[in-house]
Amino acid sequence: MKNYHTHTKRCYHAIDNEEEYVKAAIQSGYTELGFSDHTPWHYETSYHSTMRMEEDKLAGYVQTLLNLREKYQDQISIKIGLECEYFPKYMNWLKQILNDYPIDYIILGNHFDETDETGIYFGRPLNKQQLTKYVESCIAGIKTGLYSYVAHPDLAFYDTDDPFYTQEMTRLCQVAKEYQMPLEFNLLGYATHRQYPNETFFNIAKKVGNKVIIGTDAHESSALLDMNTYQLGKQWLERLGLELTEDIKFLI
């Protein structure tokens, strides 16, 4: 059992440190645990985000995980990742970060349009134009080849009974399939009854033939101990007849 969507208190909206997550994962029987805390961005403005780690905390994050990887090497495999949006103006900086640090993978978690300095949050009710922006942003991110999977691809908040939703999300799913990129079933959203995971979206994914990966999206170490929610989520996906995977592409 593997999980690649894990946050820490460094992002200001999660609790517990890295080692507490590792211990919980071992207790639950995970064989591999990937950390994907919200990436910092090297903003060109004075904007300060309160939902991602600071740029000067990245080195400590990576070193902490390298130390834990060595400490627990006989009990669990630890992977170092980041959850990143597709922000066009900052992609060169992100590529440099991936070159400078031993990052194993990044996941595509598109929360904001273009940049959180000025862009809308995609998890609030959207109009048609904004839904299309979300889909286009995801597609552009997928096509970079940098990301390992799409986190909560159904985060976009739109009327799922509208045929336009089916049209746009079908486009997203088709590109994800073309690039062999899994789509995430988000356990945090499932457990807290958010607008995602969304059955309409996953029926589209089934029709297109996408592979689905379960992501805990742990914001506290106890989430990795909640095997009941994990099993319920897995059964939900199996009921819909979706193909599950735990395999992702690594950068290094």
Q: What does the alpha-carbon distance between residue 56 and residue 42 come to, in Å, rounded to a whole number?
A: 10
Q: Is the predicted pLDDT of residue 252 greater than 90, yes or no?
A: no
User: What is d(CA 120, CA 114) in angstroms, rounded to the nearest whole number?
Assistant: 9
CA distance 42 to 57: 12
From CA 196, how far away is CA 201, in angstroms rounded?
Answer: 9
Query: What pLDDT digit, counting tens, does each position of 150-170 carry?
Result: 999 999 999 999 999 999 999
> For 129-154, how does the pLDDT look when each residue is reduced to its tens digit (9 = 90+)?
999 999 999 999 999 999 999 999 99
Asked if 168 contacts 138 with a C-beta cutoff of 8 angstroms, the reply is: no
- Interval 168-193: pLDDT, tens: 999 999 999 999 999 999 999 999 99
Q: Is the pTM of this model over 0.75?
A: yes
Is the C-alpha dihedral spanning 15, 156, 58, 106 positive or negative?
Answer: positive
Phi (first) and psi of residue 112, to 5 degrees: -130, 155
Q: pLDDT by residue (tens digit) across 53-101?
A: 999 999 999 999 999 999 999 999 999 999 999 999 999 999 999 999 9
Q: In the chain, pLDDT over 90 holds for what percent of residues?
A: 99
Q: How far apart are CA 81 and CA 251, in angstroms?
A: 10
Tens digit of each residue's pLDDT (9 = 90 or more) over 7-38: 999 999 999 999 999 999 999 999 999 999 99
DSSP letter at 2?
E
SS3 160: coil
CA distance to 7, 43, 67, 102, 155, per residue, from 62 (Å) = 13, 21, 9, 8, 28
**Angle at CA 45, nearest 5°, toward 123 and 13?**
40
